[in-house]
Amino acid sequence: MPAKKKAVYEEFEAKLAALSEELTRLKAAYFGAALDELQRPAGLFHLLTVRAAGTPCAVPLWAVEGVSWAVTPTEDARLTSPYAGWVNYHGDLVPVLELGAALGAERRGVAPRDQLVYIAAAGRKTALAVEAALEVKAVDGPSIVMAGEAGLRGSLFWGVVERSGETIRILDPGILTAGLTTSAAEGAGA
């Protein structure tokens, strides 16, 4: 990875780590719960599985607002990878995050065959550009291994689950939606 891209990626990872820690503290304070009780679901937990950069991941279904075929995002030179631009989703300007680039793959742009998964958390929205939205599956909450227990580096992940011999990383919607705000989009003129 070129030095400039590596520096941008490392800066992005550091910002995400700080946001993840703050989000976890805020969740625990809001619910007045121990972090483990807050983070580990007890019953069935529904996930939308997606593929980005050839990697299977999942998004908690509670955060998914919609899925569509990709549209060309409005580019903004001030946005850095992994953001590809802005799209209008039901009247809201939403940043498009190339999930593959956020996972460490080379940025490739949003292709017409891609899909956008619109997620919302903490009053913010993001469109995840993925190769495919695959299926909705229910998993047993106690079978989910939390990110810290699984030794996952980076703060994009909330946990992992084994399914059919495959490890599926569960993305943290709070972190994925924390990057940019609508006010930033308005400032961009999108």
Show Cβ contacts of residue 4 under 8 Å, excluding neighbours closer than 6 positions. none
In whole angstroms, what separates CA 61 from the centre of its chain? 12
Per residue in 19-67, pLDDT (tens digit) is 766 766 665 554 444 444 445 667 788 899 999 999 999 999 888 999 9
pTM of the full structure: 0.73
Residues 6+ apart with CB under 8 A from 101: 53, 81, 82, 107, 108
CB 168 within 8 A of CB 49: yes
C-alpha separations of 148 from 18, 35, 92, 151 in Å: 15, 12, 34, 5
CA distance 49 to 175: 18
C-alpha distances out from residue 31 to 26, 42, 115, Å: 9, 16, 34
Number of H helices, E strands in the chain: 6, 11
pLDDT digits (tens, 9 = 90+) for 147-172: 766 666 557 888 888 887 888 988 98
Domains of the chain: 3-188 (2.40.50.180)
